[in-house]
Amino acid sequence: SFIPASCEIAGVTLAATYLLSFSWLQAAMLGAILGAVSPAVVVPMMIYFMEQGKGAKKGIPTFVLAGSALDNVFAIVIFTQLLAFYQGIQGSILWDLANIPIAVILGTSLGLVAGYLLYLFFSRFELASPRRTILVLGVAISLTWIGDVAKNLVPIASLLGVLAMGLVILEKAEGLGHLISQKLQRLWVFAELLLFVLVGAQVNPKVAWGAGAVGLAIIAIGLVFRSLGTYLSVLGAGLNFREKMFCIMSYIPKATVQAAIGALPLEAGVPGGEIILALAVLSVLVTSPPGAIGISFLGEKVLEKEEVNIYRFEVLRETLKLPRVGERVRHRRHGTVWKVIEEKELWMDQPKEAGGPTHLVPAIYLRFWKVQEDQPRGKGKTMSHCYTPGDYSFEKYWEVLEA
């Protein structure tokens, strides 16, 4: 929703006009810069809650993600129009405002088409899981590239497109979607570190402290207006008061957008550009860490845990009481001792009923090895088995030996 950003822009504009003696144009430009929420903070936190199944029933993390993307598109469009107006570039304000729904529709449409084409491709061709993941990642990067290339011709909310693409894959092939998500989680560990390093490299604390107490007051006023806007946005969404507070907290952190466009007014020669830059940097320092902590704390306390979206193989392992690699097991009937030498987490095609269509189910592949006396040292016999939900054969026929 664009309501939180609109409210913060209005609040900062009013505050900067009186506290900094800015013109309406300067103050509105500052408001547009501060009016964007940080994807670098919000996205990882919402993904974490989605993985845990927290807030899944009401879809809270999902609409926070989608709403923050719209929020940023709106704030950036407003800032671009204000900067163009200052530079004397002729343009239609109505057309720029119309760009917001156009960007949302085009971005979502591209994502839906890309997701469906990927689903058809994966249904027809058998690819190894890493290749599927690389292909999905490549298409996601391509969507963002298309958005950057086409921005001077037509606006495209490419991040919403990436979100829509993932939703289509999850809807059409749930098991495949979970499997790709698990692979991307491993990549995200490195990508998240790189993201925050790059954001931190653009922040100059010396510039931030130059804004002083007045700067802190303006940021605080803007956040109060934003909080009111966020509260209005979630009215009628069926959320209780604590969940609304979580949504408000989720829209507070700032980082990526402010670091990217905070210096543009100064570069364009806007009077007070150095103050605008200082406030942009200060907003990152005072909202990003507390905001991230607040989101984490409230999310754990407030969001109800529902069905886990990302399938946890650990749940399957505990349910079926399966051993780990390196553990020894003994056959209950024959008394033979085997050692688990390999395990894999995978998804298998399995018919829902005899002769019916197949669907993907989670499975854990275990490979066992035991010594054979008639074989040379180090040689032995191996066997393997894939355990799926409902297959309790391990507990029936085997017991895990203590180390």
- The pLDDT score that the predictor gives to residue 82 is 81
Separation between Cα atoms, residue 313 and residue 345, nearest integer Å: 7
State the DSSP code for 304. Answer: P
Query: Following DSSP, what letter does each residue of 129-157 receive, concatenated?
Result: HHHHHHHHHHHHHHHHHHHHHHTTTS---
Please answer whether residues 91 and 34 qualify as being in contact, where contact means their C-beta atoms are separated by less than 8 angstroms. Answer: no
Q: Which CATH number fits domain 3-302: 1.20.1530.20, 1.10.1060.10, 3.40.50.300, 3.40.640.10?
A: 1.20.1530.20
Separation between Cα atoms, residue 222 and residue 19, nearest integer Å: 13
For residue 38, CA distances in Å to 70, 211, 266, 341 come to 12, 21, 21, 45
400 by Cβ neighbours in 10 Å (0-12 / 13-18 / 19+) ranks as: middle
Tens digits of pLDDT across the chain (403 residues): 678 888 999 999 999 999 888 888 889 999 999 988 877 778 778 877 876 767 767 778 878 887 887 787 778 778 877 887 777 655 555 666 677 678 778 888 898 999 999 888 887 777 777 788 889 889 988 988 888 788 777 777 777 788 788 878 877 776 677 677 767 767 776 776 776 676 666 556 666 666 678 889 999 999 999 999 989 988 877 788 888 898 899 888 887 777 777 778 887 888 888 888 888 888 888 888 888 898 888 888 888 766 544 456 778 888 899 998 888 999 998 899 999 988 887 777 777 666 666 667 788 999 998 887 766 665 778 899 999 888 999 999 999 988 6
Please answer whether residues 30 and 16 qualify as being in contact, where contact means their C-beta atoms are separated by less than 8 angstroms. Answer: yes
Query: Following DSSP, what letter does each residue of 56-98 receive, concatenated?
Result: TTTTHHHHHHHHHHHHHHHHHHHHHHHHHHHTT----HHHHHH
Domain boundaries, the chain: 3-302, 313-400
What residue type is assigned to position 124 of the chain?
Answer: R
Q: Record the pTM.
A: 0.61
Phi, psi (degrees; rounded to nearest 5) at 362: -70, 150
* Tokens describing residue 348: 């298998």
Separation between Cα atoms, residue 36 and residue 287, nearest integer Å: 12
* Tokens describing residue 30: 């500052």
- The pLDDT score that the predictor gives to residue 221 is 94
> How many of the other CB atoms lie within 10 Å of CB of 123?
11
Dihedral in degrees, nearest 10, Cα atoms 142, 144, 148, 153: 80
- The pLDDT score that the predictor gives to residue 186 is 73
Separation between Cα atoms, residue 401 and residue 329, nearest integer Å: 5
- The pLDDT score that the predictor gives to residue 309 is 45
Grouping H, G, I as helix, E, B as strand and the rest as coil, residue 36 is: coil
- The pLDDT score that the predictor gives to residue 226 is 92
Tokens 């005899």, residue? Answer: 354
Please answer whether residues 246 and 31 qualify as being in contact, where contact means their C-beta atoms are separated by less than 8 angstroms. Answer: no
> How many of the other CB atoms lie within 10 Å of CB of 191?
12
